[in-house]
Chain A
Amino acid sequence: MRVLIVEDYAPIRESVARGLREAGYAVDVAADGEDGLWLATGNDYDVIVLDLMLPKRDGMSVLDALNQSGRSSRVLLLTAKDRVEDRVNGLDAGADDYLTKPFAFAELLARVRTLVRRRYAATTPVLRIGDLEIDTVRRGATRSGDVLELTPREFTLLEYLANRADEVVTRTEIWEHLYDFQTDSQSNVVDVYVGYLRKKLEEHGRSRLIHTRRGHGYQLSEACQ
């Protein structure tokens, strides 16, 4: 899952980015509204954490521009403005959630997870595809009750594919949602990780869940097509 943080106060920006990365998210950061809008319109972020009081272009203006561009990203406003009218204005302007400073990082993480679920229309934190269960809160997966030993990157890939279960997902889409600009990735990195993940899912002779669609991408599906 890929998150954009638009925050001018460096300690918050950097600590939140670090925490989200450690939680398995691909994170990009922007220190002002113009950079934030440029990144948000040029990339398909799952969640945008947006401060309201930003240099160059304020958060509400960025939100308006994103709304007009037909965004699919979920927006979480993160601001020191805590009055009811501020929250109402923010939510009425199209934000999906609102969190005031100072905040508990665990709460921010939970809200980001919720927004990711909402983006992919998932109703529960546990995703089920056949005998595969993915717990997005505890960040663990089991198949037929057996715990799968996944690296953070593998789990994120599995979570993304599970969120888009039965859909054919292109390599570009996977790359865009799993890697941020800080990651030095090679062109075949997606194929490599899909290979690792597929191997772990099919251990002990289990059925194939990740199917290759030649010329298109991959599909996580219980049904063998």
Chain B
Amino acid sequence: MKSLRSRLLLQVAGGVAVLLLLTGAVVYWLVRATLLAEFDAALLAEATTLASMVDHEPGGVVSDIGEKKIALFEARDANAFYALRDAKDRTIDRSRSVGSHEFPRLGARVDQPVFRTESLPDGRSGRIVEVAFHPALELDVDDESASSNTIEQPAGKVLSPRVVRLSLARSTQSIDRSLSRLAWGLAGIFTGGTLLLIPMVWWLVRSSLKPLAATSAEIAAIDGQDLSLRLNASDAPAEVSGVIERLNDLLARLQAAFGREREFSANVAHELRTPLAGMRSTLEVTLSRQRDAGQYRESLGECLRMTCETEKLVGQLLSLARIDAGQLEPKFVDTNVNEELEAAWKASEPIAQSKAVSGRLELDSQVVANTDLDCLRILLRNLVDNAVAHCDPNGKIQLTTKTCHTGVQVVISNSGNRLTRGQLNRVFDRFWQGDPQRTATGTHAGLGLSLCRELANRLGLALAVDPDGGELFTVSLDLPSPSGA
């Protein structure tokens, strides 16, 4: 049963029905017990009265009950029965209504009557009480000696009072009828209550679940295009408002994530569209008329340059995507860091020379680190590229390697830094450029340092920017010592 409404309906209605049933049973039991107690008290009183009609005479126990012709026992349809037995369990007296029926022996003792529900001699259900008592001594003596329950006979023998047992039974027909009426009444209340309960609980559950339905409708109204909408928790009950608040938090996180995703896509689009637009307009204008070979060569060269820039951008995006997807599997080998740094500088040197930027390498001897060679090449190439690209014309670039007790450190710095301390904290963000107008579009997309950071993280290397470099933009890369060192 997956529906919350059905589950609640079943559980609440079932619970209340069981409660009604238990309540009915308790009420029935209490009423029955009360009626029986009252009945037993009346029965005992009657038995006591009858017992007072039994005397102990020197000739034996004598019952005057029969002589009294009590209507209760004499009527044809009498619903009361008694039997009197002496100490030897011989029936001394019995009502006519008893006939030959023998009452069960309940083992009553003096002052300890015993009650039991039994079938009466006429077959009806009834209640029986057995009392044991000492009949009063009927002697021609004064009251004082009689009251002592013993009598001294002339022969010097003492007449001891004997225990006599009286069984008195009466039909419980009236109680049974009352209890039957009560039982039917309770059953009716249970049935009617249950029948009424189901629609009531259904309505109750439905109205209680209304806030959930309203929240569900609000959630359904939120589409992926606009995640700025928030669910209204002000009118919701406390149990639902907590869920709504968590959902709103989730929406806020989703909105931020989608925002970053959109910004990333927009940046990718911008960085790709611009060189594509440049290539297209260059080619279209070139092809718009017949030109000489020199002009064609110039246009093709320009397009080739733009293609290389785009290829570099696409390569960086792919590398980032591979790292994000966990597809990069580094192979750690002992690598000559000096050689790789020199190679990276040589690759960027022509651009540096075009800007009249001078480079200075200060390399420690035998700088070897245990890392992934391909990743290190990409890292160093991007770091040196970044230094050359952002170095001011006629500026200086310094490339340093040194061995320390923790491993190897590569430091690359360039002059012409104009970034503030706050901006320096963002240089590793994807597509971040110091100029918010992305003036370096087509030349630098703002991915190089992001790629370096991702690679460094993947390789477990420390890559940091010196926040106090002033006019020098300084990046340091810490590499581990070679294996076995």
Please give the residue numbers on chain A whose beta carbons come within 8 Å of chain B beta carbons, in ascending order: 8-12, 14-16, 18-19, 22, 32-33, 53-55, 58, 80-83, 100-106, 108
Query: A32 to chain B: which residues have CB within 8 Å?
Result: 439
Query: B285 to chain A: which residues have CB within 8 Å?
Result: 15-16, 18-19, 22, 105
Query: B278 to chain A: which residues have CB within 8 Å?
Result: 9-12, 15
B143 → chain A closest CB, angstroms: 122
Would you mind naming 30 contact pairs between A and B with Cβ atoms under 8 Å apart? A9-B274, A9-B275, A9-B442, A10-B442, A11-B302, A11-B442, A12-B274, A12-B277, A15-B282, A22-B289, A32-B439, A33-B437, A53-B270, A53-B437, A53-B439, A55-B435, A55-B437, A80-B273, A80-B274, A80-B277, A81-B266, A102-B276, A102-B277, A102-B280, A102-B281, A104-B280, A105-B280, A105-B285, A105-B288, A106-B284
Number of interface residues of B (CB under 8 A): 27
Decide yes or no whether B306 CB sits under 8 A from chain A.
yes
**Contact between chains at B437 and A11 (CB < 8 Å):** no
Query: A58 to chain B: which residues have CB within 8 Å?
Result: 437
**Contact between chains at B441 and A103 (CB < 8 Å):** no
Query: A10 to chain B: which residues have CB within 8 Å?
Result: 278, 442
Decide yes or no whether B279 CB sits under 8 A from chain A.
yes
Query: B279 to chain A: which residues have CB within 8 Å?
Result: 11, 102
Query: A9 to chain B: which residues have CB within 8 Å?
Result: 274-275, 277-278, 441-442
Closest to B442 in A: A9
Docked Cα-Cα span, A81 to B438, in Å, equals: 12
A32 → chain B closest CB, angstroms: 8
Query: A14 to chain B: which residues have CB within 8 Å?
Result: 282
B433-464 CB mask vs A (1 if < 8 Å, else 0) is 00101110110000000000000000000000
A111 → chain B closest CB, angstroms: 13
Task: Given A11-B306, A15-B278, output 15 extra A-B contacts at Cβ < 8 Å.
Answer: A8-B437, A8-B441, A9-B441, A12-B274, A16-B281, A53-B438, A53-B441, A54-B437, A58-B437, A80-B273, A80-B274, A80-B441, A102-B281, A105-B284, A105-B288
Q: Which 7 A-B pairs have the closest CB atoms?
A: A11-B278, A55-B439, A101-B277, A19-B285, A102-B277, A105-B284, A15-B282
Docked Cα-Cα span, A81 to B267, in Å, equals: 10
If A11-B275, A12-B274 touch, whether A104 touches B284 (CB-CB below 8 Å) is yes
B178 → chain A closest CB, angstroms: 84
B325 → chain A closest CB, angstroms: 27
If A53-B441, A101-B273 touch, whether A11 touches B282 (CB-CB below 8 Å) is yes
B284 → chain A closest CB, angstroms: 4
Closest to B305 in A: A11
Quick one: which of A11, A19, A53, A58 has the most chain B CB within 10 A? Answer: A11
A53, A81, A83, A103: the one within 8 Å of B281 (CB): A103
Docked Cα-Cα span, A106 to B302, in Å, equals: 20
**Contact between chains at A19 and B437 (CB < 8 Å):** no
Docked Cα-Cα span, A103 to B284, in Å, equals: 10
Decide yes or no whether B269 CB sits under 8 A from chain A.
yes
**Contact between chains at B269 and A80 (CB < 8 Å):** yes
CB under 8 Å from chain A, chain B span 238-292: 266, 269-270, 273-282, 284-286, 288-289
**Contact between chains at A81 and B270 (CB < 8 Å):** yes
If A15-B278, A22-B289, A104-B284 touch, whether A80 touches B306 (CB-CB below 8 Å) is no
